[in-house]
């Protein structure tokens, strides 16, 4: 089997979403068109933002049904990332909280896709 290398989010407006992720992540997309933007995340995973009106077959679900996880090294990094993302305009769906696996918070992109930032307890 081939490696999983790209995650696609279906979005209402690719340019709005591209602007959001450029600001939030501090990286520029490597590919941009009116209906698509592609980011290469530090892990090597590609994040594609695809205008949902052009997707075939048409998507049957919207944002919020799953999450993309951003693992960080410490609880302090959770809190600083939360403050940074909140300052950059991300909607916070779940504030920094200590959970059974570690510390985490959840932000939403413009289409309601969930972005979970977390640090695993035994690694903190």
Give DSSP secondary structure letters for 43-82. TS-EEEEEEGGG-SSPP---TTSSEEEEE-S-HHHHHHHH
Q: What pLDDT does residue 62 have?
A: 81
Q: What is the pLDDT of residue 42?
A: 92
Its pTM stands at 0.89
Strand partners, 68: 115
Domain limits of the chain? 6-53, 67-123
Any residues with CB less than 8 A from the CB of 13 and at least 6 apart, and which? 51, 110
In whole angstroms, give the CA distance from residue 96 to residue 106: 8
Tens-of-pLDDT digits for all 124 residues of the chain? 677 799 999 999 999 999 999 999 999 999 999 999 999 999 999 999 999 998 999 988 888 888 999 999 999 999 999 999 999 999 999 999 999 999 999 999 999 999 999 999 876 5
How far is the C-alpha of 117 from the C-alpha of 70, rounded, in Å? 5
For domain 6-53, give the CATH number: 3.30.720.120
pLDDT at 2: 76
CB-CB contact of 93 with 82 (8 Å): no
Of 79, 77, 109, which Cα lies nearest the Cα of 93? Answer: 109
Residue 11 near residue 52 (C-beta atoms within 8 A): yes
6-53 and 67-123 share one CATH topology? no
Give the pLDDT of residue 79.
Answer: 97
Q: Tell me: domain 67-123, CATH 3.10.180.10, correct?
A: yes
118-to-38, 80, 101, 121 alpha-carbon distances in Å:
23, 12, 9, 9
Q: What confidence score (pLDDT) does residue 41 get?
A: 94
């Amino acid at each position: 089997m081939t490696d999983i290398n790209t995650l696609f989010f279906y979005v209402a407006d690719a340019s709005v979403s591209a602007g959001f992720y450029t600001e939030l992540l501090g990286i520029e997309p490597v590919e941009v068109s009116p209906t698509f933007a592609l980011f290469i995340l530090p892990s090597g995973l590609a994040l594609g933002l695809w205008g949902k009106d052009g997707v075939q077959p048409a998507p049957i679900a919207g944002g919020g049904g799953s999450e993309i996880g951003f693992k960080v090294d410490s609880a302090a990094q959770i809190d600083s990332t939360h403050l940074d993302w909140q300052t950059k305009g991300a909607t916070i769906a779940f504030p920094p909280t200590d959970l059974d696996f570690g510390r985490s918070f959840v932000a939403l992109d413009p289409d309601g896709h969930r972005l979970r930032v977390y640090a695993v307890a035994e690694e903190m």
